[in-house]
Amino acid sequence: MKTQLIQWAGRTFILSNVRASLVEFNGEEVLKVERDLSALPFDADNLVQTVDEPTFVKLKDLDIESGVIEVKVLSRIKVPSQSLQAQGFIGLDFRINDDNTAFESIYLRPNCGRSEYQFVRNHTVQYFAYPDYKFARLREESGGLYETYADIGLDEWITMRIEFAGRRAALYLNDQKYPSFIVNEMKGKSASGSIGLYVDNDTEGYFKDLKILQMNQASHSRV
């Protein structure tokens, strides 16, 4: 199968199980990404096995071990949706290896952020490590350690900034001084790799203002 590419903001991205296009959104050009269900079907009756998959646009020719990623994201739930559990899944993947078989991820469920039920709110932010530690396993084994609440919602721009080094990652939302979410012990297999803009089922995802700061031992360099 021919590799699908898209150019955005002076960079080349590889499509992995998604459809992507440049669209005008409120007067500015942004990147729109949706999961490609023909490439990777979603099964609501087999949820755990068909979510938290490599569904992203991946930056070509990048390999970083530690760094800072920042991007503005906005998500909407597709109408009609395939699942009653659609939450507007959108986020960032990092340390994606060459064949997309291992990576780390932090994503948002914006529809959970202002739920009337605290239990649902507690699932607004999610970490997972592909392929072995998807949300369901982490929830079962770690009792909420890898997810948390954040005051965010659908159809609004949210600034995500992830700082990662070693086994630790921290997520800052909307230019806050302190992190909204900390992962003290990441579980991924890949020590370095590229970054990806991630969406999952039933989501229209929009991205703009991507920034990457690579952290090297000797110097810092913007990518």
| CA gap 16, 100 in Å, rounded | 8
Q: What is the pLDDT of residues 117-174, one digit of tens each?
A: 999 999 999 999 999 999 999 999 999 999 999 999 999 999 999 999 999 999 999 9
Place of tokens 């970054």: 195
Beta-strand runs (E) in the chain: 5-8, 11-16, 18-25, 28-35, 56-59, 67-77, 90-96, 103-108, 125-130, 147-148, 158-165, 168-173, 181-183, 194-199, 203-215, 220-222
Q: What is the pLDDT of residues 69-126, one digit of tens each?
A: 999 999 999 987 776 678 999 999 999 999 999 999 999 999 999 999 999 999 999 9
Q: What pLDDT shows up at residue 1?
A: 63
Query: Considering the entire predicted model, what is its pTM?
Result: 0.94
Q: Which CATH superfamily, name and number, covers 5-222?
A: Exo-inulinase; domain 1 (2.60.120.560)
Torsion sign, CA atoms 68, 74, 201, 128: positive
Pinpoint the alpha helices (H) of 8-146: 47-50, 118-121, 135-142
**Domain boundaries defined on the chain:** 5-222
| CA gap 53, 122 in Å, rounded | 22
Q: What is the pLDDT of residues 169-205, one digit of tens each?
A: 999 999 999 999 999 999 999 999 999 999 999 999 9
Phi-psi region of 17 (alpha: psi -120 to 50; beta: other; left: phi over 0): left
The total number of residues shown for the chain amounts to 223
